[in-house]
Structure 1
């Protein structure tokens, strides 16, 4: 059953009329004004109408939305102290799969960080190095451009300005993290030895020594691609976040495609951090050759970066408060 309501009279009436074995789907919680406007801690979220009303007619809250676990909203954390909260099957699989790579990775463990979400990728790399999770960080994409620049190589004004604009207010903070990481773990960070620039809509490969260049850098070079592929195939655990370049353009898809092919051919445990990379893997039919494709983009990035995820913290607090134990799950049947 479905009702076009969330916690109003229609929804409450439909819930009361439910018979054993029936399932009711409520409307999208993102359409509730409080879901997108209320800010604060778990107690503040518990005071919202959606939580107060629904808590009065249900026995337990199951959170299976790992992709939303990084959000501090009423529907994700509001039930923490009002009713028992438990993780759903998907949430459990996500946490378990990521923890395999983070807590007890097969060695050597490498993290390949790229893409355009440079701030997140730098945080992930820094977290993995400081906690001894990754033996090496291999940088691609915008992450590589930033680290190359602050290793002392001029990447060109066009590429510098792109990073500044893309990072916005987080630019200086990200740069400071990158500098500290380069200073403390220089021997564990592998940067490309060559890159590919978009010169008048043509791919032009050039070595790092040939920088700076005015044209935008769109991919890692052929030699760097070969080195990365070899490292992936020799690793026990590969944590992959972000493409190696602008793979949407055929001429600049080489680094990303070869990186994914190497992951598919590797005997190591491959964890892919959601987003465009996961979509590309699925489109290329490589899903079954990866250890784990995360369903959560932002949530996965935050988890890998060691940040607190409100949705998971909520489950932990609720478990402590209600001392709830699940004796049987779907997978036990």
Structure 2
């Protein structure tokens, strides 16, 4: 994907004002406002530092949570954490484009950094509209005259077409930041140069996304094996004709995935040698983990793949040359049901194949196990990553590509 969009290398930012969209959406204690995990902020240190050292006036645009959530709050604490991580003062203004924000922007000196308020406090940020309409939003009209460049480093939100992600790209020189650039290059280069056997381990709760990935990678011949787990596996088991118990069928229905059973039936008919579902699963009975074969599942909730399945999946992963993993195998937060997820991550870390782990829960589990340096890439964006794997285009990336195709900057 290199060359399709501008990067920081293409622009001379010295003495210029750069609006940098980052994704620092972080776990926040709703009672104290304390940020519980600064992982996402650490990711953007490289881009922010590079721009500041090159003499740019850096304006940070970001969001935290969404309206109605307990952690939907200001970015005041984020500015303090960023100041510590950057070893550089990050100024903060509790405004996005009003007079105080404009004054703060105009007062910035080369090398200084300013964090604007939570962009989701702005109502138009939630609207889904074409780029041309997003470019007419108030935030774009008010901030565009104050900036020279727009840089998007928010890969984790790249599958969204919100104003702050695409609106500035229509008329402002726009580039990918280092996080965005690295994520796209790694994932797309790996997909373009897959070595067989290639394995996709797909689990988690977002079953429709994973099923879409399974269909795409089987259809285009990328995947030799798709190993299903989590809710995804339960749907495939139901599609294969197994009685998974009414409680598990009810859960599938409650999550809005009952229609996916027919999709999975078709996929199993079309790709019977590629898609693998569990031979045993783990349930909770009398507060204990109990592994049962899939042809004899009692009416208890399934919380993990079984140990036999885990061993089979591990063997396949260890022999793979390319591995993609997204979503945990079960309720990994509970030690009784973390075996499947841990075994899959252990196998990936031990495999000699090239490995990419999606963001979200499986990324967090990989880090908590201390294996982030034993896999080739842990993506910072679960939703964006899985959309790429499903063959979908990312709105924010398409906006950057379009910007380069329409404008030549010197």
* In structure 2, C-alpha distance between the alignment counterparts of 1:108 and 1:176, rounded to whole Å: 28
- Residues 31-52 of structure 1, C-alpha deviations (whole Å, 9 max, x = no match): 222212x331001101111101
* Aligned residue-pair number: 320
In the alignment, does 2:284 pair up with 1:202?
A: no
**What is the aligned partner in structure 1 of residue 258 from structure 2?**
171
- SS of 1:86's partner is strand
In the alignment, does 2:101 pair up with 1:14?
A: no
**What is the aligned partner in structure 2 of residue 133 from structure 1?**
222
- SS of 1:183's partner is helix
One of 399, 405, 408 as aligned partner of 1:314: 399
Kept in 2, the 8 Å contact 1:193–1:224? The answer is yes
For CA contacts below 8 A with separation 6 or more, give which structure has more relative contact order: 1
CA drift at 1:324: 4.1
* In structure 2, C-alpha distance between the alignment counterparts of 1:74 and 1:205, rounded to whole Å: 48
Matches within 5 A, 1:58-77: 58-77=147-166
One of 189, 195, 212 as aligned partner of 2:275: 189
* In structure 1, C-alpha distance between the alignment counterparts of 2:158 and 2:172, rounded to whole Å: 18
Kept in 1, the 8 Å contact 2:238–2:261? The answer is no
User: Which consecutive residues of structure 1, in runs of 5 or more, have no partner in the other structure?
Assistant: 326-333
CA drift at 1:4: 2.1
- SS of 1:96's partner is helix
One of 308, 311, 314 as aligned partner of 1:226: 311
Kept in 2, the 8 Å contact 1:107–1:237? The answer is yes
**What is the aligned partner in structure 1 of residue 350 from structure 2?**
265
- SS of 1:287's partner is coil
* In structure 1, C-alpha distance between the alignment counterparts of 2:209 and 2:163, rounded to whole Å: 25
Range with greater deviation from structure 2 (67-76 or 20-29): 20-29
In the alignment, does 2:393 pair up with 1:303?
A: no
CA drift at 1:135: 1.1
* In structure 1, C-alpha distance between the alignment counterparts of 2:262 and 2:132, rounded to whole Å: 35
- Residues 15-43 of structure 1, C-alpha deviations (whole Å, 9 max, x = no match): 2233333332222212222212x331001
Range with greater deviation from structure 2 (57-66 or 182-191): 182-191
Change (3 A) 1:317 1:176: farther
In the alignment, does 2:172 pair up with 1:83?
A: yes
TM-score (norm 2): 0.75
Kept in 2, the 8 Å contact 1:123–1:177? The answer is no
- Residues 108-153 of structure 1, C-alpha deviations (whole Å, 9 max, x = no match): 1000011111111111111111111111111111111111111111
Range with greater deviation from structure 2 (312-321 or 22-31): 22-31
Range with greater deviation from structure 2 (58-67 or 295-304): 295-304
CA drift at 1:215: 0.8
Change (3 A) 1:171 1:315: farther
- SS of 1:232's partner is helix
Give the alignment's Cα RMSD to 1 decimal: 1.4
* In structure 1, C-alpha distance between the alignment counterparts of 2:308 and 2:315, rounded to whole Å: 11
User: Which consecutive residues of structure 2, in runs of 5 or more, have no partner in the other structure?
Assistant: 1-90
* In structure 2, C-alpha distance between the alignment counterparts of 1:46 and 1:251, rounded to whole Å: 50
